[in-house]
């Protein structure tokens, strides 16, 4: 779960792997400070998020240009369609402002509950629900605008 969260944040498998390892090292070192205010997965994602932000501030990592994840699906057409859909969704997510992007990512891709997300941000459960709902609305509007724009200019190709 921590790796998937970091992979969604960074878009880089090597960076996500490195930071996931660092997350567990920090967690082991600070275990005595864990108060139990949130679930362990929420606590770990909080550590991961902080490490990711530190890494980005320090520009500690350089991302390889030719990074590919192994794909075990057999059907090439299905892989291309899914890859295109994932890339399109990631593009929309990239354009989404914080905290909407992070809440949507945590809930959708990292399987965190809204209550856990609220704890991670130090907010109420209601805040997490509203933020997730608004993120979905914003993404839906982005998709509609994109589709409408394509239809509007379809005759001018």
Number of domains in the chain: 2
The pTM of the full predicted model, rounded to 2 decimals, is: 0.48
CB atoms within 10 A of CB 11: 13
Task: Tell whether 84 and 152 lie within a shared domain.
Answer: yes
pLDDT digits (tens, 9 = 90+) for 16-44: 888 899 989 888 888 888 777 777 888 88
Task: Tell whether 14 and 55 lie within a shared domain.
Answer: yes
Task: Tell whether 58 and 84 lie within a shared domain.
Answer: no
Task: Tell whether 86 and 156 lie within a shared domain.
Answer: yes
Task: Tell whether 83 and 54 lie within a shared domain.
Answer: no
Task: Tell whether 4 and 49 lie within a shared domain.
Answer: yes
Task: Tell whether 120 and 144 lie within a shared domain.
Answer: yes
Whether 39 is in a domain gets the answer yes
Q: Give me the pLDDT at residue 47, please.
A: 87
Q: Tokens standing for 149? A: 């724009």
Whether 71 is in a domain gets the answer no
């Amino acid at each position: 779960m921590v790796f998937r969260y970091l992979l969604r944040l960074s878009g880089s498998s090597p960076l996500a792997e490195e930071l996931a390892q660092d997350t567990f090292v920090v967690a082991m070192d600070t275990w005595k400070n864990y108060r139990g205010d949130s679930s362990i997965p929420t606590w770990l994602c909080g550590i991961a998020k902080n490490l990711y932000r530190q890494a980005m501030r320090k520009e500690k990592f350089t991302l390889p240009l030719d990074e590919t994840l192994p794909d075990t699906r057999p059907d090439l057409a299905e892989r291309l369609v899914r890859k295109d859909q994932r890339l399109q969704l990631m593009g929309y997510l990239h354009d989404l402002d914080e905290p909407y992007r992070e809440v949507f990512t945590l809930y959708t891709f990292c399987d965190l509950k809204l209550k856990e997300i609220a704890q991670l941000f130090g907010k109420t459960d209601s805040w997490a629900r509203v933020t997730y709902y608004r993120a979905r609305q914003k993404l839906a509007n982005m998709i509609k605008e994109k589709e409408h724009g394509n239809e509007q200019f379809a005759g001018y190709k």
